[in-house]
Amino acid sequence: MKSLGILYKGILTRDRGAETASGPFEVMVAKEVADQIRSWRFIVLLALIVLTFLGSLYVSLGNIKNAVTIEQDPDGTFVYLKLLTITDGSMPPFHVFLNFLGPLLGIALGFDAINSEQSNGTLIRLMAQPVYRDNLILAKFVSALIIISHLFIALALLMIGAGLIITGANMEPIEVLRIFSFIFISIIYVGFWLSLSIVFSIGFKQTATSAIAGVGVWLFFTVFYPIVVNMAMKMFIPEQAMLTQPDAIKYNDMILNLLRLAPSQLFSDATTTLLMPSVRSLGPMSMEQMAGAIPSPLPFKESLMVVWPQVSGLLAATLFCFACSYYLFMRREIRS
């Protein structure tokens, strides 16, 4: 502290003429993005996602010739959608992988958002600066979403580019729309898990606890929830042979709706419909409904109408979690 004495003159002259354009929110987002990108966990997750993407792209490219030459397939003309969805059974397609890896990505990016700052003693320092509290959680959320969006859009463009070079096929504008809405839904899906893990990071003091809580919810919905629903429904569905057709449809709908409480189910419903234009209903259809239907792909708008409830559900769940994090964080006492 040798020269502290000579310093104060410079310190307190009030020349605040040079105010900046970038507000504290942008500064925080920039810092968070930099932090995430430099962190090891992001590099590991990036490697994981890119590897599964390359793997499923490799498999689908190997089978693309067979897939587009099947005459009965109404989706046969959409080469790029096929690239994302076909597989020879050795590996699930990319959107199924994403159903599984998306939560991991979201949880990993958000589980220590607030509590690590608190345990490092940086939270109180940060809150002593002229910064709105909500800016902090918003910055954490937005920075992770920026990274995820960039990642997914880059992957989609890589896929399109690779497809162009290898197949040389023409790309329908509808395919671009469908692929980008698939990307958009994937981002929302990861955003849901991200906001859930941010809630946990505010609620739990220990980073390990919040990580385990996040992973626990994820495992519950992907592994146990379908089992629990099936077991519960078995108890009050009568014998198969006794069911009339309307009853069977009713029970089927009930099971599906219960399963749709899981975000992964919403995501898989939404992505299948968007990536396979011939999917026209997510539930069972009766023969009467099928009668007269031409086996052709649905227009984009119709597909979107089919998945609209799923997309709204995902968005609502994301916003709900985010509202919870606001509620928990805004009036909390911050101590080091």
Residues that bind other proteins (CB under 8 A): 1-14, 16, 18-20, 22-24, 27-28, 31, 35, 38-39, 120-122, 124-132, 331, 333-336
> What contacts 279, CB < 8 A, 6 or more positions away?
272, 273, 298, 303, 306
User: In the complex with other proteins, which residue's Cβ is closer, 195 or 201?
Assistant: 201
Shortest separation between residue 49's beta carbon and other proteins, angstroms: 23
- Tokens, residue 160: 């399109």
Shortest distance (Å) from residue 123 CB to other proteins: 8
Closest separation between CB of residue 139 and other proteins, Å? 11
Nearer to other proteins, 119 or 149 (CB): 119
Q: Where on the phi/psi map is residue 87: left (φ > 0), alpha (ψ -120 to 50), or beta? A: beta
Q: Report the nearest approach of other proteins to the CB of residue 117 (Å).
A: 8
| Residue at token pair 């709105």 | 132
Q: For residues 196 and 111, give the distance between their C-alpha atoms in angstroms, rounded to a whole number.
A: 9
Whether 51 contacts 270, CB under 8 Å: no
**C-beta atoms surrounding 113 within 10 Å:** 27
Report the candidate in 167, 191, 189 with the shortest Cα–Cα distance to residue 64: 167
Least spacing, CB of residue 335 vs other proteins, in Å: 7
Residue type, 201: S
Nearer to other proteins, 13 or 240 (CB): 13
Closest residue by Cα to residue 262 from 324, 317, 322: 317
10 Å Cβ neighbour count for 171?
15
Task: Provide, rounded to whole angstroms, the least separation between the CB of residue 16 and other proteins.
Answer: 8
User: Which amino acid, residue 229?
Assistant: V
| Nearer to other proteins among residue 7 and residue 176 (C-beta) | 7
Q: Please give the structure tokens belonging to residue 257.
A: 């709706």
- Cβ proximity to other proteins: between 38 and 234 the closer is 38
Nearest distance, CB of residue 44 and other proteins, angstroms: 16
| CA 331 to chain centroid | 29
- Residue 268 and residue 255: Cα distance in Å, rounded? 16
Q: What is the DSSP annotation of 271-304? A: HHHHH-TT---SS---HHHHTT----PPPHHHHH
In the complex with other proteins, which residue's Cβ is closer, 136 or 270? 136
> CB of 24: closest distance to other proteins in angstroms?
5
Eight-class DSSP state of 13: -
Interatomic CA distance for residues 30 and 185, integer angstroms: 24
Question: Of 11 and 165, which CB lies nearer to other proteins in the complex structure?
Answer: 11
| Alpha-helix runs per DSSP H in 168-206 | 173-203
**Rg over CA atoms, the chain:** 25
Q: How far is the CB of 18 from other proteins (least distance, A)?
A: 5
Nearer to other proteins among residue 9 and residue 65 (C-beta): 9
Amino acid at 41: R
Q: State which residue, 22 or 240, has the beta carbon closest to other proteins.
A: 22
